[in-house]
Structure 1
Amino acid sequence: MPNKSKTSWLLKLSKRRKFVLISLLLSFGIMIVQAITNDLSRYIIIGVLAIFSILLTIWSLKEDLHKIAWFIAPILPTYFITALNLFYFLLPENIFVRIGLILLFAIGMYSLLLTENIFVVGALRTIQLLRAAQASGFVFSLFISFLLFDTVFSFRLSPWINSLLVFPISFPLILQAIWSSTLDEKLEKPVLWYSLILAWVLTQGALFISMWPVSIVIASLFLVTIMYVGLGIIQQALLDRLFPQTVREYVQVGIIVLVIIFFAARWGGGS
């Protein structure tokens, strides 16, 4: 009887309470990662948390999940917890940094789950706040990409390896971001092709910027800018809102960042 009552309690939870519960549980998981000193064990726990994130996201949204949404909805939450855990390795070991990271994750995960909920419901029927959710998902996609690109460049691998790593990192993020602008029940060919093309462009960008004498942050910013411009133009094109002024605005942002990168480069050969 006690087990049955616990199960029924979980089943009766509202979506928002599920989101709060998931955020707290996964935040506790991040605390475990921070407490572990062995690198291999940390990576194992990060992988376990990623799997839990997938399962918990599906559990919280399963009432409205349909077709392709079963696979796309967990992408951002899973990438978010993975990116923050990996990025934590690059931060100074400080109690305030740890607390700040956990708070950032808890608030961010709750917001992400709300965003994904709007997406899966919006794919079934007209819903308010869809524009706000799309903007939120867009920002989260760029933020998560920056953390992951920064992690890749921090290993100081060869340009070719950086390029190879960027594709599997960026493709799922791009796919879900483009899908969120259309919310189709199945994965349409234009969405898939646009995702593949932009991910390929990012791999070439990673190869290019890895050969430039720039800092890790600048290199990551360069890739995020490509993603920002590419996603922005693709999303507007799919929504039939791609006007010349819109293209100019996105291209101007790209040019400004390129100029910043050029002047930020250490042409003197410093490390």
Structure 2
Amino acid sequence: MRKRQKLVFSAVFLALWLVGVQSVNLELRYPLIGVAGIIAYLLGVWSLREGLSGIEWLTVVLPSVFFTLAVGLFYILLPQAWWARGLIALLFGIGQYALLLTANIFSVAAIRTIALFRAASAVGFVMTLVTGFLLFDTILSFRLAFPLVGLLVCLASFGLLLPALWSVELLPKLNRRVLSYAVCISLAMGVLAMSVCFWPIGITVSSLFLSTALYVMLGIAQHYFQDRLFNKTVWEYVTVGAAVTITMLATAGWGV
């Protein structure tokens, strides 16, 4: 089987798995979503194993695993309407295929320069934000105690940030800079997640705020890693973050 056929098979199989999970009892769905994450890793390794080496066995495949978990958990929260579930399954299949293609480009770009690297980086960045939004929305939907919300958002953010920051330079090992930035941004995300637990805003708005924070901090960090962090770039990211924050605060129900 050719590599592209493997990528298509992996995306379709996982989409069908998530659809099938919805037909079992609720208490079994969460364990099966965890199994889907394991399957996503195994299928990713199976599809890309020829080009994987060193830390790539983790960083290249991890985004597709987190995307599978994010969509699977979010899937459970959807209404029972067949069209909604069908649409999400279709979008998941497309997104998973795009992530696997991106992973393939990264594994090749780690060896030699290819023209598609910049496009793959853009797709990876967008998919990181989409995955983050779905994970944050799911975590906040459980309405857990705020320390636990902060911890889960911190862990989820770290899993997203590690491959996203590594993909800038595609080094054979994780260096201290990648790890330190991933940890620091993850901690900041955890603190922000705990703070929104006390704000009179809805779950979707809170998730959008956290996704915007991830967009700002990850975007600035990636530009810094590329030695392309200029004042104009910083202001562009900060402006977006400030606009979303002001809008969120203005529309919050502060009891006035």
Judge conservation of contact 1:115–1:136 (CA < 8 Å) in 2.
yes
Judge conservation of contact 1:163–1:207 (CA < 8 Å) in 2.
yes
Q: Post-superposition shift, 1:40? A: 2.0
Which of 180, 183, 198 is matched with 1:211 structurally?
198
Deviations 1:160-204 (A, max 9, x none): 111111111110101111111111111011011000000000001
Judge conservation of contact 1:58–1:70 (CA < 8 Å) in 2.
yes
Equivalent residue for 1:21?
9
Asked if residue 41 in structure 1 is aligned to residue 33 in structure 2, the reply is no
Q: Which moved more, 1:160-169 or 1:239-248?
A: 160-169
Question: How many angstroms apart in 2 are the aligned matches of 1:25 and 1:92?
Answer: 23
Judge conservation of contact 2:78–2:85 (CA < 8 Å) in 1.
no
Question: How many angstroms apart in 2 are the aligned matches of 1:238 and 1:81?
Answer: 28
Segments of 4+ moved more than 6 angstroms: none
Q: Which amino acid aligns with 1:132?
A: A
- The equivalences for 1:79-98 within 5 A come to 79-98=66-85
The Cα RMSD (Å) is: 1.0
Asked if residue 242 in structure 1 is aligned to residue 222 in structure 2, the reply is no
Judge conservation of contact 2:14–2:36 (CA < 8 Å) in 1.
yes
Q: Which amino acid aligns with 2:129?
A: L
Which of 184, 192, 195 is matched with 1:197 structurally?
184
- The equivalences for 1:226-241 within 5 A come to 226-241=213-228
TM-score using structure 1 length? 0.92
Count of paired positions: 256
Deviations 1:191-233 (A, max 9, x none): 1100000000000101111111110011111111111010111
Equivalent residue for 1:103?
90
Matched-pair identity in %: 45
Question: How many angstroms apart in 1 are the aligned matches of 2:143 and 2:13?
Answer: 33
- Mark the structure with the bigger radius of gyration: 1
Which of 116, 119, 134 is matched with 1:147 structurally?
134
Which 5+ residue runs of structure 2 have no aligned equivalent? none
Judge conservation of contact 1:34–1:98 (CA < 8 Å) in 2.
no
Q: Which amino acid aligns with 1:55?
A: L
Asked if residue 158 in structure 1 is aligned to residue 145 in structure 2, the reply is yes
Which of 52, 57, 61 is matched with 1:65 structurally?
52
